[in-house]
């Protein structure tokens, strides 16, 4: 049946940056589709709280605390997960940070902080997980991009640089890993109601601009990203590779 193609029962999914916001919503979506989800973040207490919220809903969840900028910790943790479960079937690279200030005022260390988390983290986690996927000739990697992978906006130049890099990494990883039956795709959220965007949502002028600029006329909700994630994580997307699905209410399609 067609619905069976979206069934993730028995799959093992690692989702970085999933103690809150978009990452947690994606974790809930994949777990509801049957996957065993491993939540990741730097704060064990936040991870435990997030895991409890999903377990209370009858979902199968574990935690793995590590910093995506720490390559040694990534290698150790990925190895431990594979030793325990035998594999990682699905990786969602969601961990990321945002810093806002005028372009000419960005300190070098803040620029590097954004790149290290948003670009290096994606590269090194995917690299560690892809080794096992290549050996098994199967895997799904989903990189969380952004509408800023395509568009620019004032005061977030390092973030747009990082998300543009993640888009192109997604395409290059597809080109290299596709022959191993590994699908590498991305999701580009639009303006979503998350903790990361609290200040923007509270700015009435900016929020009105978002609603006017987005054809759907509103901010997106985190749960509206789950469908794209389940699709890209499932057998339904076995011949979909190197694409970015923009879940943005039409923002990138309009002027």
Residue 70's pLDDT is 97
Residue 197's pLDDT is 86
Q: Show pLDDT as tens, one digit a residue, over the chain (255 residues).
A: 888 999 999 999 999 999 999 999 999 999 999 999 999 999 999 999 999 999 999 999 999 999 999 999 999 999 999 999 999 999 999 999 999 999 999 999 999 999 999 999 999 999 999 999 999 999 999 999 999 999 999 999 999 999 999 999 999 999 999 999 999 999 999 999 998 788 889 999 999 999 999 999 999 999 999 999 999 999 999 999 999 999 999 999 998
Query: In angstroms, rounded to a whole number, what is the distance separating the alpha carbons of residues 14 and 89?
Result: 8
Q: Determine which one of 66, 124, 159, 246 is catalytic.
A: 159
pTM, entire model: 0.96
User: Do the beta carbons of residue 245 and residue 187 sit within 8 Å?
Assistant: yes
Residue 1's pLDDT is 80
Annotated catalytic residue 159: yes
**What fold does the segment set 2-248 form as a domain?**
Rossmann fold (3.40.50)
Burial grade of 126 (CB within 10 A; 0-12, 13-18, 19 or more): buried
Q: Which residues contact 108 (CB under 8 A, 6 or more apart)?
A: none
Annotated domain spans of the chain = 2-248
């Amino acid at each position: 049946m067609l619905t069976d193609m979206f069934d993730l029962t028995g799959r093992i999914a690692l989702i970085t940056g999933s103690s809150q916001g978009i990452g947690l919503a994606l974790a809930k979506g994949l777990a509801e589709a049957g996957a065993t989800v491993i939540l990741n973040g730097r704060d064990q207490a936040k991870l435990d709280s997030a895991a409890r919220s999903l377990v209370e809903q009858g979902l199968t969840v574990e935690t793995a605390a590590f910093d995506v900028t720490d390559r040694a910790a990534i290698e150790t943790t990925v190895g431990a997960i594979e030793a325990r479960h035998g594999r990682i079937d699905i990786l969602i690279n969601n961990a990321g940070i945002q810093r806002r200030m005028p372009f000419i005022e960005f300190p070098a260390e803040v620029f590097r902080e954004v790149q290290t988390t948003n670009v290096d983290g994606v590269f090194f986690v995917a690299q560690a997980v892809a080794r096992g996927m290549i050996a098994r000739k199967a895997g799904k990697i989903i990189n969380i991009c952004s509408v800023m992978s395509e568009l620019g906006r004032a005061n977030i130049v390092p973030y747009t640089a990082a998300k543009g890099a993640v888009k192109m990494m997604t395409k290059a990883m597809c080109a290299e890993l596709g022959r191993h039956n590994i699908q590498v795709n991305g999701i580009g959220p639009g303006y979503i109601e998350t903790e990361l965007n609290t200040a923007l949502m509270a700015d009435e002028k900016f929020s009105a601009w978002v609603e006017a600029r987005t054809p759907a006329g509103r901010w997106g909700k985190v749960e509206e990203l789950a469908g794209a994630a389940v699709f890209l994580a499932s057998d339904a997307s076995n011949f979909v590779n190197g694409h970015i699905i923009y879940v943005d209410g039409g923002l990138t399609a309009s002027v």
